Chain A
């Protein structure tokens, strides 16, 4: 069974870039039929889709975050990463990486999630 694990700094200063990595084990990120995503959850709030990537490198970003988000994949390390630039306190959240299936219709809800990592934006 595939497992996902987020890693990265838990504290980021305002205006800087938040960088997180998701390491995948128990399966290859290069296997077709899946997308690899980042989802966040503000304290006490619901789930917010950030974006996703295919192993080929094709991406989709939440329009509300698109100008600040970059998701990339490193198949040699079986990892994918998130960069969110120009962060503010409003970006303080638990960040999850997740895997879902890609069908002929498009992407469907993710099945496999990482445990999440809290990132606080503060000086």
Chain B
């Protein structure tokens, strides 16, 4: 299966909101509500921020939210903070008898 499509970079000022998109197909993103988002700071492991499209694990600030429309999932970060600067990856279920599929990653810069 092909990788999911994410913008290479996005940016925003502190306090603003940014949205990162993740585009797949009807066989992955669009077909099921199994999209996750990970945050990765340099030298650190990916951290789960959103799962099942819009659910937040315990401890993740409610500034982070997820949604999906058709074959595109989105991660929105509101009230941007300096510590949100990181790489973000989406990941989706991709069908039976196969693995999941990752997006290429988006670098978020907080200006």
Q: Is the CB of A106 within 8 A of B95?
A: yes
CA distance A48 to B104 in the complex (A): 9
Kindly supply a per-residue 1/0 record for chain A positions 103-117, scoring 1 wherever the CB is within 8 Å of any chain B CB and 0 otherwise: 101111111111110
Point out the residues of chain B lying under 8 angstroms from A112, CB to CB.
Answer: 48
Using C-beta atoms within 8 Å of the partner chain, give the interface range for chain B: 20 to 34
Say yes or no: is A16 at the interface (Cβ < 8 Å to chain B): no
CA distance A52 to B98 in the complex (A): 10
CA distance A100 to B52 in the complex (A): 12
Q: Is the CB of A46 within 8 A of B105?
A: yes
Say yes or no: is B93 at the interface (Cβ < 8 Å to chain A): yes
Interface of B is mostly: loop
**CB-contact partner of B93 in A62, A105, A114, A115, under 8 A:** A105
Say yes or no: is A55 at the interface (Cβ < 8 Å to chain B): no
**Chain B min CB distance to A105 (Å):** 6
Point out the residues of chain A lying under 8 angstroms from B48, CB to CB.
Answer: 111-113
Given contacts A46-B105, A47-B46, A114-B45, is CB(A109)–CB(B98) below 8 Å? Answer: no
**CB-contact partner of A111 in B57, B89, B105, under 8 A:** B57
Point out the residues of chain A lying under 8 angstroms from B97, CB to CB.
Answer: 60, 106
Question: Considering only CB atoms and an 8 Å cut-off, how many residues of chain A contact the other chain?
Answer: 24
- Least CB separation from B52: chain A residue: A108
Kindly supply a per-residue 1/0 record for chain B positions 62-76, scoring 1 wherever the CB is within 8 Å of any chain A CB and 0 otherwise: 000000000000000
CA distance A110 to B89 in the complex (A): 12
CA distance A46 to B101 in the complex (A): 12
| Interface set of B (CB-CB < 8 Å, partner A) | 3, 32, 34-36, 44-48, 51-52, 57, 89, 91-105
Can you report 5 residue pairs joining A to B where beta carbons are below 8 Å apart?
A48-B102, A60-B98, A106-B97, A108-B36, A113-B48
